[in-house]
Amino acid sequence: MNSLDFQNLRSAQGKFRTPRFKSTWFQPRTVILLGPPGAGKGTQAQRIAGQCGLKHLSTGDMLRDNIYRDTELAKKAKPLINRGELVPDEIVLGMVKERIAQPDCKNGFILDGFPRTLRQAQGLEEICVPHKSKAATVLNFAVKAELLVRRLINRRICNKCGHIYNLIEHPPEHSGICDLDGSELLQRADDAEEVVRERICTYERHTRPLIDYYAAKGVLHEVEGTSDPDAVTASILKVLNK
């Protein structure tokens, strides 16, 4: 099994009052998936995005795409990602602002891996003002640290379609090969055990405080991330279809 080198990974108010006829139906919806690395945010985002007509936006995938294209942004981001640290807020905020202005986000989006700091959460609110988005729905995935490590070091990703496997919980039918398109499965460089442990520490320090931030706003919903993936999807859809 190859180690996945980022270079080789392709991924995936104005002053005027709202006209009275404009129904909230047309307001773009923001869904935030909050939780530690390995909690299943990416897997669930892939499953629910199509069903809900929302665009799946992963800041991790956007950063890896920059690394693949060897952009200026990647020069700063790559060493930080490889150490399990966060990329600076202003870089990530700029990237998200540009992405959600694209036409494929007009119905709304699922944010996977963003926001990760209080500054990013506040920045997101500022970015969403001109889009007149509805208040975000935040889904917090709770999973114990030891399970996270086991999941991440056993995670494999299809080099072509990005489908996520787990060698223990959800292995491919044929070792190292994607069930969906027959492409090679790779391991992300930052899924090495020591980097995984650092990513979990980074989450505890910078991202966990967002649970209280969103709970205080009354938009937080808890998801039992240890259940099997189908049960997790069903509980998320129940919240989103309310």
Residues at the contact surface with ligand ADP, assessed by CB under 6 A: 37-38, 58-60, 63, 80-81, 84-87, 92, 113-114, 116, 120, 190, 199
Verify whether residue 99 is a known catalytic residue.
Answer: no
Q: Which residue has the tokens 């299809």?
A: 158
- From the candidates 47, 55, 150, 188, which is the catalytic residue? 188
Name which of 52 and 57 has its Cβ closer to ligand ADP. 57
- From the candidates 47, 55, 116, 156, which is the catalytic residue? 116
**Rounded to whole angstroms, how far apart are CA atoms 85 and 66?**
17
Verify whether residue 199 is a known catalytic residue.
Answer: yes
Tell me the two tokens of residue 136.
């975000």
Cα 106 to its chain centre, rounded Å, is 18
- From the candidates 47, 64, 156, 199, which is the catalytic residue? 199
Verify whether residue 197 is a known catalytic residue.
Answer: no
Name which of 178 and 189 has its Cβ closer to ligand ADP. 189
Q: How far is the CB of 41 from ligand ADP (least distance, A)?
A: 6
**Secondary structure of 2-63 in the HEC alphabet?**
CEECHHHCCCCCCCCCCCCCCCHHHCCEEEEEECCCCCCHHHHHHHHHHHHCCEEEEHHHHH
Q: Which residue has the tokens 């320090």?
A: 205
Name which of 119 and 241 has its Cβ closer to ligand ADP. 119
Q: How far is the CB of 146 from ligand ADP (least distance, A)?
A: 16
Determine what percent of the chain falls in helix, strand and coil, rounding each to the nearest 5.
Answer: 50, 15, 35
Q: How far is the CB of 116 from ligand ADP (least distance, A)?
A: 4
Q: How far is the CB of 239 from ligand ADP (least distance, A)?
A: 20
The residues assigned a catalytic role are 41, 116, 155, 188, 199
